[in-house]
Amino acid sequence: MIFLSFAAPANAKKRTFASKGCLDCHADFAEKYFSMKNIHPVVNEQSCEDCHLRHGIVAKLLLKEEGNDLCYTCHKVEELNLDQANIHTAVRRGKCTSCHNPHASEGKYLLAAEGNSVCFECHEEDAYKQKVVHQVINEEGCSACHNAHASAEEMLLTKKPTELCVSCHESSESAFRKAHGSYPVEQKPCTVCHVPHSSMQEKLLKASTHDPVASAECGSCHVDPSSPNPFETNVKGGELCLECHDKETLMGEGLIEHEPFQSGDCISCHDPHTSQNRNLLIAVGNSLCFTCHEDLQKKVLFPHQPLGDEKGCQSCHPVHAAPFNPLLNMEISKLCFSCHTKTEAEGKRLKNKHYPYEEADCTTCHNPHGSNIVNILTSRTDSVCYSCHPEKESEYQKSVIHDPVQKGNCNACHSGHGGTDTKFLKEKPNKLCEECHDTFMAKELNENMHAPFDEKECLTCHTPHASNITGMIVNEERALCFSCHEDLEESLEASKVKHEAVNAGQCTQCHNPHKSTLETLLLAPSPDLCLTCHGDIKEKMDNERVHPPAARDCLRCHKPHFSDEVSLMQQPLHSLCGECHESDRDTFQEAHLNIDPSVMNCISCHTPHASKDPSFFKPLVHGPFAVKTCDSCHIVGKK
């Protein structure tokens, strides 16, 4: 019954989908493309599903294959010659649609634009539209020389470069021979002298043209064109150049010659025929220098600014010869300050100058080209300093090192150029420490300051660089403290009983060496301070009846540093106890059986700090003593 109740009615109709074409929805597509001159066959046949998935995978992703793989299902790789050594970048990156419209186009081959315009979508157009344009570009377009998809030749050329040129420019014609001085230039690449697309110079010559080339006087430099080796020069090396170019003029006031100039290797920098760069240079700016000085080409975090300026290397170095080493246009002392005028002015005000700065030998510390270290230092700051001060490196290898020294940051405290004192400190020592330790050194209300700390004379106690003693102090604690507290040391030596902490030179067990809210710079008030070491007494005081003086202040009975009395007592025991317990009172005499107080040893019967007994008797009491029958053992004198 349950099954039957869910059965479909007998007269229910089966649902179906009506078949619709893509253009039923994409009417704008038909309007846009079907009127065009060239329509992709699959579009014309409305075979949309040859390329597209009916439903897609995700929104907008409706193609059956990615990139060029879709195109290659019909346009075979072999037919496109894509097995060549050089592939057009757009094809290699899977971007056929960079040049072709996949649906329709007004241009042939479904090109996205007509003629050269499709090429100019990627290639900068200005380079092809200068004053003199290669005729073939205007008449036949880029495809006259370049394959669209792939080629065995570089730059996608249809033939080898020279072969391609002479296919139009017949090298045997008299006009061609005359223009080239009858030299067999077809044996060399035409691009040695000519720009293939457009130029500001006649005959498509490059922007900078050597005069003999411009005037077709090749024989000025080369042997006769009919000779076996017509491209040999009349004179070898730089001597040929000096036949026209005066050496003294090129050197100017320079005495030190650039190595290529000295060896006559002019073509290491200059092209002997033409160049797109000024002065026939083979490369632009610093790139030319880097062809030899490769090590200076490395990217650094802090490049020297002149290298990035228009003049680049020539900001400091003349190209042919210089008056100063290493090929500098002026003395290094003047050269650096010609830009760093502020640094020079500041230096004149310095009372004491760092030796390299005083001698203006800036490259002792700085790399003139650039560095990965701030201020273009040649190395980490401490390494730079240790290169002149090697003894300091070993001196600072200690167990406790000042943080700036540990991090190699000498200039946290010292100025690299100089200062008002001989150590080139950036500030007076009392202010210098405060630069980092400002919060610690600030005086709070009701604080007592240790005199050197209050006066910010940190170096009285601390070494500024490194120490083998905790706290980076200049000497062992005992010797350090007694260097000022001499009277205390003398009294300590003369005393019979010494506080163990004092004798061991552990002053900071009790005193803060910098500041405290307590008198005498104590770390804590008494008795808390004393009980941090005397734990056995603390335990008794926590659990037993406490002797009132012990509860208030240990110094009521004890001296803190030294004494001539046992247990650092302030005075002999009987007189110390007698200050509170009046020994001449009848009650005292009666309790002590009239024994002479001067012969008593109070702590032989009483515990001085805490006891469970109201009279502070020791826990174990001799029987006769407990019932006050001392005469059972002693002969007691009477008053």
The pLDDT-based confidence of 63 (bands split at 50, 70, 90) is confident
527 with 558, same domain: the answer is yes
Residues in Cβ contact with 311 at an 8 Å cutoff, skipping those fewer than 6 apart? none
Instruction: Provide the pLDDT for residue 59.
Output: 47
Based on the domain organization, do 586 and 485 belong to the same domain?
no
Of the pLDDT bands very low, low, confident and very high (cuts 50, 70, 90), residue 584 is confident
- Paired with 377 in beta bridges are 366
- For the ranges 59-73, 331-345, 553-567, the maximum mean pLDDT occurs at 553-567
Residue 189 backbone class (left: φ over 0; alpha: ψ -120 to 50; beta: rest): beta
User: Does residue 49 form part of some domain?
Assistant: yes
277 domain residue, yes or no:
no
User: Are 444 and 346 in the same domain?
Assistant: yes
Is the pLDDT at 561 greater than 90? The verdict is yes
Q: Is residue 256 part of a domain?
A: no
Question: Per the domain annotation, does 558 fall within a domain?
Answer: yes
The answer on 440 and 339 residing in a single domain is yes
| pLDDT value, residue 1 | 37
Out of 154, 182, 197, a domain closes at: 154
pLDDT in tens, 224-248: 999 999 999 999 889 999 999 999 9
- Can you give the pLDDT at residue 470? 94
CB of 395 closer than 8 Å to CB of 466:
yes
449 plus 484 within the same structural domain: no
The answer to whether residue 221 is domain-embedded is no
Four-CA torsion 394, 398, 402, 407, nearest 10 degrees: 60
pLDDT exceeds 60 at position 7: no
The tally of domains found in the chain comes to 4
pTM summary value: 0.70
- Pick from 470, 505, 530: which residue ends a domain? 470
Structure confidence by residue, pLDDT tens digits, 546-560? 999 999 999 999 999
For residue range 376-427, what is the model confidence (pLDDT) as tens digits?
999 999 999 999 999 999 999 999 999 999 999 999 999 999 998 889 999 9
Tell me, what DSSP letter sits at residue 545? E
Q: Which helix (H) or strand (E) holds 486?
A: helix 486-494
Q: Give the chain's mean pLDDT.
A: 90
How far is it, in rounded angstroms, from Cα 522 to Cα 535? Answer: 19
443 and 491 housed in the same domain: no
Torsion of CA 129, 132, 136, 137, to 10 degrees: 0
**Residue 238 included in any domain:** no
**Is the same domain home to 494 and 525?**
yes
Supply the DSSP symbol for 58.
B
H/E stretch holding 139 reads: helix 135-139
Q: How far apart are CA 356 and CA 353, in angstroms?
A: 8
| 22 — pLDDT class (breaks 50, 70, 90) | confident
Distance between CA atoms of residues 310 and 108, nearest Å: 46
Listed residue (136, 96, 91, 94) closest to 116, CA to CA: 136
Q: Percentage of residues in the chain with pLDDT exceeding 70?
A: 95
Are 231 and 222 in contact, with CB atoms under 8 Å apart? yes
User: Do residues 443 and 371 both lie within one domain?
Assistant: yes
Q: Which of these, 546, 533, 558, lies nearest to 613 by C-alpha position?
A: 546
- 149 near 87, Cβ under 8 Å? yes
- Indicate whether 227 belongs to any domain: no
For residue 277, pLDDT over 90 is answered with: yes
**Count of CB atoms situated within 10 Å of the CB of 587:** 8
Shared domain for 456 and 337, answered yes or no, is yes
Residue 61: pLDDT band with limits 50, 70, 90: low
Query: Which string of DSSP letters, residue by residue, matches 350-388?
Result: -SEE-HHHHTT-GGGTB-SSEESSGGGBSS-HHHHHHTT
307 has a pLDDT exceeding 60: yes
Domain end among 123, 154, 185: 154
- The reply to whether 466 and 483 lie within a common domain is no
- Residues 451 and 350 placed together within one structural domain of the fold: yes
Q: Could you tell me the sign of the dihedral formed by the alpha carbons of 629, 630, 632, 637, in that order?
A: negative
Specify if 421 maps to a domain. yes
Place of tokens 């009615």: 9
Segment 604-621, tens digit of pLDDT: 889 999 999 999 998 888
Torsion (CA) 251, 252, 258, 263 in degrees, nearest 10: 10
Q: Tell me what pLDDT residue 193 has.
A: 94
Give yes or no: residues 365 and 491 share one domain. Answer: no
pLDDT of residue 5: 42
- Domain of 337, in residue numbers: 330-470
Taking only the tens place, the pLDDT of each residue in 465-523 is 999 999 999 999 999 999 999 999 999 999 999 999 999 999 999 999 999 999 999 99
* Residue 138: half-sphere exposure toward Cβ, Cα within 13 Å: 8
